Structures are given as C-alpha cells and as structure tokens.
Amino acid sequence: MRQLNYDLKRLQEGARDGAFGARSGRSFNLAQMANTLHELGYRRLRATGLKGKHVEALVREWQRRGLSVGTMKNRMSHLRWWAQRIGKPNVVRADNASYGIGERQRVTNEDRSRDLPDDRLALVRDAHVRMALRLQDAFGLRREEAIKFSPSYADRGSTVVLKASWTKGGRSREIPVLEEAQRRVLDEARAFAGGGAMIPGHRNYVQQLAVYEQQTAAAGLERMHGLRHGYAMRRYAAITGWKAPAAGGPPMRSLRGARQRIDRQARETISREMGHSRISIVEVYCGR
C-alpha cells in the first residue's frame, strides 16, 4: 500500500462521524484521491502534507475527466474532512466556485439516460460488476444499491424489496417487477449470487466499489447513473402513454385535465420507486 493511502486509512480510524454508508464513501473517495495524486506525480506526499496546490491539481484533473458538478462537490466535502482532520482547514477554500466548480444544473430537459450495450458489458471482467450493472438498468438502482443487492432477500416475486441499509438516506422501498426482462435479470442474479450480494466473499463494499469504478471506466461505461435516468423515462412512458419531456415528449406546462393528472401520477410513482421523498426531483430524470 502506498504511504499516502496508508496515512489516509489511519486518519479514518476511530472516526465515527456520519452513517456507515457515508464513511464507506469517504474511504473510497480518499483512496481515489491518493491514487490520482500519485498519478499526477506527487509520489512522496503524506496526509499531513496536504497543500492548496494538491487541491487545485485534483480539481483540474476532475474537470479534465469531465466529472459532474455533483460528483466534484461530493469529493470536495471529503477533501475538507481530510484538511480538518490534519488541522489545516484553510487548505481547502470554503467556496467551490473559486475552483471553477459551479452550481448543479438540476433541470435541463436534456436526455441523460444511458444504455447498457452488450459489447461494452462484455468488456467488464468482474462477473459481480456485470450483474450489478444489469440490476441498475432493470430497476433504476443506485450504484450502491446494486452492489449491495442480495436477490435471495430482495426478490419477492412481483416486487423487489430494498433494505434500508442498502439505500441512500436509509429508506427501504419496493419496486414492482413488471417486465419479463426484469424477471430474467432477477432469476439470473439469484442463480449467480445464491444467498449473497453482488460482492464476492473476499471483498467488502468499499473494495468492490473500487473494482466497479475501475472496470466500468476500462470498458468505456461512463456515468452509469444514466441507467437510472433511463429507467425513469421508461416508467414515465409506460404509465402515461407518451414520452417524457426530456425524451422529446410534451412539456408539463402544455398538459391539461386528465393528461395533467396522469403526468402527476407518473411522477409520484417514479419518485416512490426510485427512493425520493420529493416529486419535484423527478424533473431531473424526466424533464419538465
């Protein structure tokens, strides 16, 4: 293990701030930052040696890679945690905009969905990652939910039940099984995993998340959160009978009467199935 990775691991020992999922995410992101800094030529950096130039180098690299504003903001929060832990809170400026990280553009009416081409999926060597991707595509799962997914628990026949410990915000939820394609994925996942999850027995969640990141990038499968967008737009079309605004369908402001009520019903259903507490968030996926 490289020295900086080891330092950051030691820095996190005993830290109990945040839920388990948040701490796991922090561990993964800090390890990724250490790897990136190594790749950028900072080979002898120790955790206590973090400086403004390292922060700026990381941000430039994230921007070069085309990471979303939301992803960069999340990583900046972990960087600030690192700086706080070593007693250098001012190393990371408080204003993300000063690094050229803008505000999230929530609703654009842009189609951000992604598909899962068979030829790209075949390039993913890890069978657990391949199955997690298929579950993301079939049920609109978040990445963490797909990796922690245990078919023996989740598959209830006509519904999929997600444990609170798998989900963002710790809210359990149900997703209907409506299509033959979904049923096939579930059956194959159950046969593949047995009583386990989409994590092999010799790895933990953080380790498998790193494998997921590495192998999807190597296979050219980027921004796989777009599979969730695709699920939302398919559900919208199935419920309403017309395309979502982000896919070229009629905008919300043009709907009247029964069509307006159907649109709201679709958005309420999608919000519930995707684990959101606010119906307005569906605009991010389906447009307005």
Q: Average pLDDT for residues 193-204, to the nearest whole number?
A: 93
Q: Using CA atoms, how far apart are residues 15 and 50, in angstroms rounded to an integer?
A: 19
| Mean pLDDT (whole number) for 45-70 | 90
- Indicate the pLDDT class of residue 277, thresholds 50, 70 and 90: confident
Has residue 105 got a pLDDT over 60? no
Distance CA 129, CA 147 (A): 7
Residue 57 placed within a domain: yes
pLDDT at residue 25, as a whole number: 84
This prediction's pTM: 0.72
| Residue 255 pLDDT level (bands cut at 50, 70, 90) | very high
Span 229-252, mean pLDDT? 96
What DSSP element (H or E) covers 162? strand 159-162
Interval 57-82 mean pLDDT: 89
Closest of 74, 76, 72, 78 to residue 15, by C-alpha: 78
Look up the domain containing 212 and give its range.
Answer: 124-219
* pLDDT tens by residue, 21-32: 778 888 989 999
Domain stops at, among 219, 248, 278: 219
Q: What is the pLDDT of residue 104?
A: 61
Question: What domain count does the chain have?
Answer: 3
CA distances from 52 to 4, 56, 204 (A): 16, 6, 33
pLDDT at 13: 86
pLDDT (0 to 100) of residue 102: 78
- Residue 115 inside a domain? The answer is no
pLDDT of residue 106: 60
196, 160: one domain: yes
C-beta separation of 210 from 28 below 8 A: yes
Cβ(166)–Cβ(257) under 8 Å? no
CA nearest to 177, candidates 154, 150, 201, 203: 154
User: Within a domain: residue 114?
Assistant: no
Bigger pLDDT: 189 or 213? 189
Q: Output the pLDDT for position 287.
A: 93
**Any domain includes 112:** no
pLDDT at 67: 80
* 212 and 235 belong to one structural domain: no
For 109-164, write each residue's pLDDT tens digit: 888 899 999 999 999 999 999 999 999 999 999 999 999 999 999 999 999 999 99
Residue 105 lies in a domain: no
Q: How far is 162 from 131, CA to CA, in rounded Å?
A: 16
User: For residue 237, is pLDDT > 60?
Assistant: yes
Q: What is the pLDDT of residue 135?
A: 98
pLDDT above 70 (res 103): no
Compute the mean pLDDT over every residue in the chain, rounded to the nearest whole number.
Answer: 92
Long-range CB contacts (< 8 A, 24+ apart) of 43-49? 44/3, 45/4, 46/3, 46/4, 46/7, 47/4, 47/7, 47/8, 47/10, 47/11, 47/82, 47/86, 48/7, 48/86
Q: What is the mean pLDDT of residues 244-253?
A: 94
Please check whether residue 110 lies inside any domain of the structure.
no
